[in-house]
Each structure stands twice: as structure tokens, then as C-alpha cells.
A and B are shown apart, each in its own frame.
Chain A
Amino acid sequence: MTDHSAIDAGQRSARRILVVDSALLIVLVVGVHLSFVATGAQEDFPLWAVAINWFAAGITLLAGLLARWVSDRTLRLLAATAVAAYAITLLTFPASVPAEGIDRIPWTLSASGAAAAAALVAGGRPLAWATVVAGAAAGLGYRALYGGLDLVGVVNDLQALLTGAVICVIGGHILAVGRGLDAEAASASAAAALESAERGRLAARTKAATLVHDEVLSTLALAASGLPLPRHRLAGQARAAVAAVTSLTDDQAHEPTVLRHLLADEARQHGVTFTVHDESTPAVGAFATTHDAILGATRQALHNSIRHAPDASRRVVLTHTDTETRVEITDDGPGFDPARIEDDRLGIRQSIIGRMSRLPGGSAEIEAAPGQGTRIRLRVEAAAAREMALSGGRASLRAGVAALTVIYLVTQTICAILATISVPRSWPLQVAMLATAVVASEILRATPGRRPSFGRTSVVVALAGGSMVAGVAASHYVYDLDFSYGTMWFAIGVAFIFVALALRARMRVALAGTVVLVTVLIGAGVLDGAPAGEILRASVRPVVLVGLAITLLVVVARMQRRILVLHRAAVTSAEKQSWSLAARSELTGRVAELARTALPLLQRIGAGGETTEAERSEYASCEGDLRDGLRAGSLARDPLRAVVASARERGVDVLLLDDHGDVADGELHPILEWMAMAVATAHTRVVGRLLPAGRPDRATLTVDGRHTAFAAQPAAGASSSPGPSSAGGTSVTSFHGE
């Protein structure tokens, strides 16, 4: 339960915000309504109808007040009740109309904004849109039936529709962002859980492996020491070591491994060179199924290549980029014509192409031509699904904004037509107002990117503000129109332009513009001597429209920042997890090697027979080799490795230390050859060491007390043939220690 509530936090807070918005809208509606009642401009409706109205308002207000404290379920229930009360108001309106009739229907009937916000909470976008449409339809319909189908009434209903639509689009966006936030939070916490589990497994496994390693090394060292130990005791310890190694390798048979180790193993089994190119961290989340498919396809490709081009040289290359994981299997064999062979080579069709294309984001392509070898390329796109999920919210917002634009153009056109009909001589004003609204919105629509440039913004603001001032002045001085909600229809049109600016990240401009707009509006009302109620009614809607939009957009921006933070956390966790997995996989490889090399020797010791001198050297050599796996790093490679093994069998104590950890292959090879040459002649003791970065020497070697150093190469221009004598800048100095 607590888990669930934590996961849904984003959606819950989105709903709370909407409920509070709904309550604020109700406060405004009630305020404006009371201003009407005070002027006595309201008809007498039966008590039950008034009660339903007040109940709807009250429940919305209650939900808004309690939003912080009640459960999500209660909140949605309250919202649903408010929506239902609004619906009942609409449906029962005809019954409430007094027998003597009414002058005009109350304007509150079509004020669906608060109900739309509540509907978003209760039932999401479909219910909200239905509420808005129902409000506008009921308003216009009842006007036709009961009166009030005039400029003021229709403009009111249409602008209410527009306000409701804005709430549906931005509120719906908030819900979608809330959902995205929840999804991101869930994936972040899942990634963190996986990461910590993976770390735990790595730690446990490391500890187990360390102990087993220790056990094996101790046993081999004892067996090699030649000390007079009771043979049956040594055999007993060897058998215990065998059991420990076996149980460790059995345990790891079921472990997940990292692709590169799987592929390296596969390539080794087929005697094929394997290389890795890491251009980025391996794509996260690509585990078991992806690996199985890639591995299976690689195996099939190698089988095909070996079957059809037995003498060719083959290569497997694994590449990780930011966008994909790619495996290429190439050979320089005779090749073939893919178009001709596709049908009879079921192997390629099914096991390679089919297998890869069944993976999400997976594909396989084959490049082959007679005489030009074959290249099979397997790809898996990284995290394609995640990208789609992230852009999903944006796409729905774009669709909503498009719908909003259509509603805007339609309502404004109707308003202009109605205004022209009611005062025909004012047609040039109405057409000019509509034209500026259309032009300004078109300029914004055609803006590339989200945020319009300073120039574009200025043009839009000049158009909107200029048309507002010009419209008000013309209404008063030129056409002498009475100030009313109807004649001032274009104020909402201008306010909507500011909403569009706010949606396009120009919030301050939008806010300032609205202040100017309302000032001009109030100034015009006062100039015209309009009643205070009329002025209030005309100025509330633009304020609500822009204010609401800006508030909700600020909330959205905050939620999106939070999403980003969570997203980064999830990615970091997943990266750590894949690191742990890689480390564990490497460990697994090392244990497998331990089993391969040491197990036969331990079994022999466990049999309890007499140990010969040759066997003793063999144990010493194996013990040294295993130690090298721990400490010798890149020095544990041929040609040095073989020379060291034979030196150890001669009884030489060899210690190899890699204290650098990351020497490039090109630099390493001459060092290995240089060390191998000296180790071949060693008698008692050898210490070979790769020095940490930043020291004057690359490596040192002490053979029987004779110390030599391999100097760092001053310039990277050593393109000459390998070998210590010809490697540019290499100097070998020697001093006699003992």
C-alpha cells in the first residue's frame, strides 16, 4: 500500500493541483455570480435548483480545501460528485425554469471550467472534453429555447468553451506528465533495487571466490614446498579444495554474464579472434534475452563460415555505441551471392536474421559477394523504447494545442460574425480584430522550435496589444458601441494569444501583456460608464485564462525537472548495475580458469600418492600462474607467460606485478618481449613490474638481483618493427645488485 502510494505520487499531485484549480475557478464564478445577484439581475429559480448549484460549488470547494489531506480515492470521488452535480444542473435546467419564463439563462450554466478540471481528476481527458462540450452545447441550446441568444450570451458560451478547452489541454498535459513522473520514479527505484542486488551478489561472490582461491593457492604452495607433511592430510586438504572449486563453478553455471565474455568464449571455442570497441558504456537493460539471441546468431554465423570457408580467417568484433550494440562476424573466404542462396541456407534465414529481428530494436544484415568474403552484422538498438515513452507526453500536448487552435479560430470567427450582425456598421472593426487574432496565432504556430525568438515575440505582442488598444478606442470613439462582455469579445481573443505565448515558454511576456490587457479593458469600461459588474465580468475571464495557464505550466516545468533528475538517477543506477554485472562476469571467467588449470592437479594431490620433483615444480608453476591472475594484470600474457611458466618449473620464484593497469597493447608488446628474454635465463628470483602511470620508467625487471628498467617512450612515433632493440626511445639500463 505504501509502495503503491509512493509510485503514484506524480499522478496524485497532478490531481491535487487540478482540484485546487477547480476550487479557485468556483470561487471566481461564485464571486461574479454574487455580483449579479447584488444588482438584482437574476431570475427566481426554485430552491432545489439553487441547492444543486450551491452543492456543486460547495463540493468543488471542499475538494480543493481538503486536497492535501484526503486520499487519492476520496479526492477522485469528490471530483466525480462535483462533475455529476454540474451534469445534473445542466440536465434539470428546463425543469427549473419558472412557468412565467425567464429573460435569459444564467451565465454560470455554461461556465464549465471548474467542472472540466474536476472531470480531469475524476475521469481523465475524455470526461473533461465531454463536460466542456456539454456545457457549451447546453448554454447555446437553452439560450435558443429560453432566451438570451444574443451577442453577450453566445460570446459568453463560446469563450467558456475556449477556457474549458485550455483547461482540458494543459490539465491533461499535467496528468500525462504526472504519469511520466511516476513511470520514471518506478524505473529509477527498480534500477536502484537491481543495482543494489547486483552489488550484493558481486560482493558475496567475490568473497566466496577469494576464499576458494586462497584455499587452492595454499594447497598448491604446500604441495610444492616439499616440507615433510603427512601425505593423507595434504590429500584431504586437496580434496576439500576440489570440492570448493567444484561447488563454486556449479553455482555460477546459472549466472547471467556480460555479452563480451560470452562472445569471447564463443570466439575462443571456434579459434576466432575477438575484439571489442567501446565507444560508450554498454547499453543498459540489454540482458538475458538479447544476449541469448546475439550469442545464438553469432554461433550460427561462425558455424556457417567454418562450413563454407574452412580455410578463411575469421573475426568477431563487438562494438558498443551510444545508439546500438553491434556484432560483426567477418571472414575472407570465397563469399557468396546472398540473393541466390537465401532459400537453401536455412541457417542464415532462420537462425540469424529471424532470431535478431524478433528482438526489440534488433536486426541482422549480410554483406557478401562471390570472391569478397562475408560480413554478417548483428545490431540491437539501445533503449529505443525509452525514447518513445519520453516523447509520448509531448506528442499528446501537440495534438491538444492543435485542437485548441481550431476551437480558437472557430469561436473567434463566430464571435466576429455575431458582433457584426448585432452592429452591422462596425464590420470593419470586427474583421480587423479577427484578422489580427488569426495573424498573431499563425505567427506563433509557424514558429520553429518551442520558444519564439525575441523578434517574433515582439511582433506578436505588438499585434495583440495594439489590436486591443485600437479595438477599444475604435469601439468607443468611432462606432460608439456600449461596453459589454459581447462587444469586448476580442479581449478573450487577445488573452488567448498570451496563453499561447505562455505555452511557448514566454511566461513573463504573457503575464505583462495580460496586465496591460486588463488595464485597457477596465479603462474602456470606466470611460464608457459601464456598470462595475459588467467590467468585472469582462475582465475576469482573460485573467483566469492566462493565470491558470501560467500556473499549470509552472507546475509542469517543475514536474519535468523532477523527471529529469529521476531519469538520471535511474541511468546511473543501471550503469553501476551493469558494471557490477561485468565485474561478476569477469570473476566467473576467472573461476572457470581456476577450475580448468588447478583442478586436475588438486585431484592428483587428493589421490594421496608420492609427489615427484617434477610434480612439485608443476604445482609451483600452477600456483604462480594463478597468483598472476590476481596481480600480474597485462603481464600475464604470452610471450612472457610461457617463459615464466618454464622458469617456475625450474624452481625460479617469479613475481609479476601490474601496477599500471591500463597499458596500451602497442606499448605492452615490446615490454613483454624484453622481460621474456631476461626471464629465460633466470636462476633464482624474478620480479617484473609495470609501473604506475607518470613514472619515468614504464617497467622494471629484477632478475637474480640484476635490475633493469624499460624507459617510457618520449614520442609516440615508434612505428618500427617490434622488439626491444628497435623500439624508438627505449633504453635498457642495468645495474648489478648483488
Chain B
Amino acid sequence: MPATTRIAIVDDHELVAMAVQNLIEGADGLEFTRHATSVTDLVRRMRDADLVLLDLTLRDGTDPGENVRQIRDWGADVLVLTSGEDPYLVRNASRAEVLGIVRKSTPRQALVDAIRTAARGELVPTTEWASALDTDPLLAAAPLTLREREVLSLYASGLGARGVAERLFISENTVNDHLRRIRSLYHRLGRSAATKVELYQRGIEDGYVQAPGRD
């Protein structure tokens, strides 16, 4: 792994790329390499990035989960950027191997921190991500321990790892371990749930339209 992490961004808007470039420039160990408007554009060339910031809803209508898989095959880590928090799309992307889902309107410093964490190859658990997982009917049937569910639920209510740790009288590291296990379990479910994903196709349509949380 090189000393600096090379970062590319896939987003419809060049301006978003410029903003991200702006953020990264001031941060040590991060280097901005490229902006592409589609995943196909990005992976056409030789791999020139270690981390890709991927927009959840691209104008070309590609499926977030499929986009993530393509970038992973290309050899880079993925951190997803979203505008809103449509839980169906968030889940769809989370089932693929992403390091996290971050909202574009996250305050500046938090955004830089998230990118830095992802650049180290670590999980970036956000409240939106945890909440989308916490309410996923797919995960409701998964073999999670009671403690893991507790951690996820608290995390989804906006407490950070430290907050959850204090609340449950456990160490922050344990909380992070739990989150990592939940994430990898979710990826496993995501791989085997191709047909269930189809079932959610309709739900994705609903996601925008209906009050979320209904399955």
C-alpha cells in the first residue's frame, strides 16, 4: 500500500468532484486522481485509484450494487456518497462491499474524516447506513446476536461508537468489532439474496414514494 491513498470520484456533477478535490487537498496522505461520470468510464482505464467515492444515484440509471461490484473487481475500495437517504438504495449498495455510505451534506470535517477512515481501508459506519440495515427485513432474519442488534439499533439512533460503548458498558473496540461483523454478514446476505433483491425492485420504486420503513 502506498503512503498516499489515491482517490477517484464517480459523480454526474463535475462540481461535486471539484468540491471533493477541494476537501482532499488539505488532507495529508490523500491524493485526488480523477473524476468520471460513470463507472464504465472509470474502470475503462488501468486502475489509478485506491478508493473510489461513488454517487448512489447516477444519471445513467445504473444499479448501485452493480456499480460497487464493478469497482471492487477493478481493485479499489468504495465509499458511497448520497444526496438523500432512500433506505432501499442505501441497502442495495450496502449489500455490496462498500466501506460506508456518507451523505454529501455531511459537515465538512466529518466528511474529511470519513474519507480518511475509508482511505485506511476501514469501515465508515454512518447513522444512515446503520438505520437502513437496522430496518432491513433481510437482516431481521439473519443470525445476529442480541448484543449485535443492540449495537446496530443504538448506532442507528445517532450515537457514535464511543456513545454506544458507554451506553452498553463495553469498549469502543468491541463496538467496532460488532459493526464489522454485521457488515460482513450483510455482504454475505447480499451475495446470496440476488432473487430477493429482485423482490425489492418494487420496493426501490416505493422507497421514494412511500413513507420508508414499510416492507
Which A residues have a C-beta under 8 Å from some C-beta of B?
Answer: 202-203, 206-207, 209-211, 213-215, 217-218, 220-222, 224-230, 233-234, 237, 583-584, 586-587, 620, 623-624, 626-627, 630-631, 633-634, 653, 655, 657-662, 685-692, 695, 700-702, 705, 707, 709, 735-738
Contacts and interface: CB of A to CB of B under 8 A. Distances in A.
A631 B85 contact: yes
Interface stretch (B17-25, B28-36, B70-78): B17-25
A735 B167 contact: yes
B209 A583 contact: yes
A587 B163 contact: no
B59 A689 contact: no
A661 B211 contact: yes
Interface in B1-60: 12-16, 18-19, 22-23, 57, 59
A659 B135 contact: yes
Given A689-B131, A690-B213, A702-B157, 7 more contacts: A210-B86, A227-B19, A229-B18, A583-B205, A655-B85, A657-B131, A659-B213
10 contacts: A202-B209, A211-B59, A213-B83, A217-B83, A225-B105, A237-B15, A630-B208, A631-B84, A631-B87, A689-B131
A707 B163 contact: yes
The 10 A-B pairs with the shortest beta carbon distances in the complex, nearest first, are A687-B158, A737-B163, A702-B158, A661-B213, A217-B83, A700-B157, A221-B105, A633-B211, A630-B84, A659-B213
B84 A627 contact: yes
A630 B213 contact: no
A221 B59 contact: no
Given A234-B15, A631-B84, A659-B135, A687 B211 contact: no
Nearest to B111: A225
Contacts of B214: 661-662
B134 interface: yes
Contacts of A735: 166-167
Nearest to A587: B209
Interface in B183-215: 205-206, 208-214
A41 B106 CA distance: 107
B156 interface: yes
A624 B103 CA distance: 11
Contacts, number: 168
A661 B159 contact: no
A227 B158 contact: no
A705 B160 contact: yes
B104 interface: yes
Contact of B158 (A206, A660, A689): A689
B154 interface: yes
B143 interface: no
Nearest to A696: B153
Interface residues of B, number: 48
Contact of A623 (B105, B135, B213): B105
Interface of B: 12-16, 18-19, 22-23, 57, 59, 61, 83-87, 104-108, 110, 127-128, 131, 134-135, 153-154, 156-160, 162-163, 166-167, 205-206, 208-214
Contacts of B16: 218, 222
B167 A737 contact: yes
A613 to B, nearest CB: 15
Contact of A237 (B13, B57, B135, B156): B13
A207 B163 contact: no
Contacts of A709: 157
B22 A222 contact: no
Contact of A655 (B13, B61, B128, B160): B128
A702 B208 contact: no
Contact of A627 (B85, B158, B205, B206): B85
Nearest to B127: A687
A680 B104 CA distance: 24
B57 A210 contact: yes
Given A631-B86, A735-B167, A587 B104 contact: no
Contact of A707 (B131, B167, B209): B167
Given A630-B208, A658-B211, A689-B156, A218 B13 contact: yes
B212 A586 contact: no
Contacts of A234: 15
A690 B128 CA distance: 13
A653 B103 CA distance: 11
Contact of B86 (A221, A229, A630): A630
Nearest to B164: A737
